Structure 1
Amino acid sequence: MRVLSGQSLLDIAVQVDGSVETVFEWALANDKSITDRLTPGEILVAPGSALREKDIANYFYGIQKKLATGITAQNHELIVPDDGIGAMIIGSTFIVS
């Protein structure tokens, strides 16, 4: 399985196996943590899980959909607005008095 930009192990588990339950098997088979950031183009070994939900996996395969729910440089502005306390600078946009 070749990793696409923005994909996580959870995305791949659902896309290939049709179940989030297989994410732990994907992590073990590829010597990763379930929260590791994946590198686009990286090749992952499919664990061949007994927990595979064939109907869901076949659905994603049939419609040729690739799941990629990670925040990328392209979609960061759509998801995380540049306002609020996280974007404030003390003494500049956040005045303490």
Structure 2
Amino acid sequence: MKTKVNDNQSLADIAVQVSGSVESSFDIAVKNNQSVTGILTAGQELDKSGIINNKVVDQLAVQKAIPASASKKVIDVQLTGIGYMTIGQNFTIK
């Protein structure tokens, strides 16, 4: 069986949605020749894994909840501190 990826879903989100456990993300990754940390695209179809926790799967279905924790935003972090300072730019010698 296959499942369709929704916007901002990661492999862990898919695993929780279809099997009730994040542990299935490894199985789903292998079945679909994907990286566990790879970026999925909305509309992509993936082979499912077996259900591990029926309660979680049923609860998500009843609430019509779709886990979506992935973000495609790139965060640019400016590192600071003595190891990242350059003389004349952000490090002053007096």
Larger gyration radius, structure 1 or structure 2: 2
- After superposition, residues 22-61 of structure 1 pair within 5 angstroms as 22-47=24-49, 49=50, 52-61=52-61
Q: Deviations over 1:45-78 (max 9, x none)?
A: 112x2x61001111001111111101245xx7xx
1:14-93 counterparts in 2 under 5 A? 14-47=16-49, 49=50, 52-73=52-73, 86=78
TM-score of the superposed pair, with normalisation by structure 2: 0.74
Q: Provide the residue aligned with 2:90 in structure 1.
A: 95
Alpha-carbon RMSD: 2.4
Contact 1:13 1:20 in 2 (8 A): yes
Equivalences, count = 84
Judge conservation of contact 1:26–1:45 (CA < 8 Å) in 2: yes
Structure 1's consecutive aligned runs of 4 or more residues displaced over 6 angstroms after TM superposition are none
Per the normalisation by structure 1, the TM-score is 0.72
In the alignment, structure 2 segments of 5+ residues that lack a partner are none
**Using the alignment, how far apart are the partners of 1:25 and 1:96 within structure 2?**
50
SS state at 1:34 partner: coil
Structure 1 stretches lacking a partner, 5+ long: none
